[in-house]
Structure 1
Amino acid sequence: MDDIAGHKQEKKRGQAISVVECYMKEHGDISEEEAKKELYARILEAWKDMNEECLRPHPTPMTLLTRILNLTKMVHVAYEDIDNYTHPETKFKEYIRCTIAEPLVM
């Protein structure tokens, strides 16, 4: 998600090749938007796989699986539409404030 969200900024800075460029080269004549669409579809499938795995009995302790899933959720939010991690002035800063500084009391 980081590569998809920050693709244009990284390209401007001349940084290493991203997953979007790799996908475009691997699949020939497809546009950047088509590549991103396919990559997001793969992310959706990965979410389905992770959720399904958490619902079935597993030898791995659920506490460990929950931590991994929560980290994955955080990364998803950080790079949801744009690179919120690099640009925290966007909604990411507000997410952190609501979650840590002012958590919902139940």
Structure 2
Amino acid sequence: MTAVPPNPPPYHPGSEQPSLNRPVRERYPQIRATSGYGDPRVDRTGPGPGAGTEQDPERSARLSARLVIAMTVVIGQLWALTVGVNEWMRGHTDTAWWCAGFLGLSFLVVLGLWYSDPKDR
């Protein structure tokens, strides 16, 4: 292990001091000084143009709409759960049961959204 000077000079890439532009082999032995363009393990440059983009805009619109509906239902479920628990603690069990029914119905709505397009599962 080498000793570190008490106040090492600040590092910035492309420093004019050659001692700061050295490869750090002792910390990262798998990284070579020519890692990337000169590395023989790299044989492809990347996935190519258009990678990661949706090729079917109608499918993207359907998925986005279903996602928005599902998020709205989840927010409604959280609200109903809060109201239901508050009413249950106050002793108003009839309102709490209505909220529980709403929770079950909203779960069925999201389940129906999931079953609506079997090829997107």
Is the structural similarity TM-score above 0.5?
no
- TM-score of the aligned structures, taking structure 1 as reference length: 0.37
User: Greater share of helix residues, 1 or 2?
Assistant: 1
Higher relative contact order (CA 8 A, sep 6+): 1
- TM-score of the aligned structures, taking structure 2 as reference length: 0.34
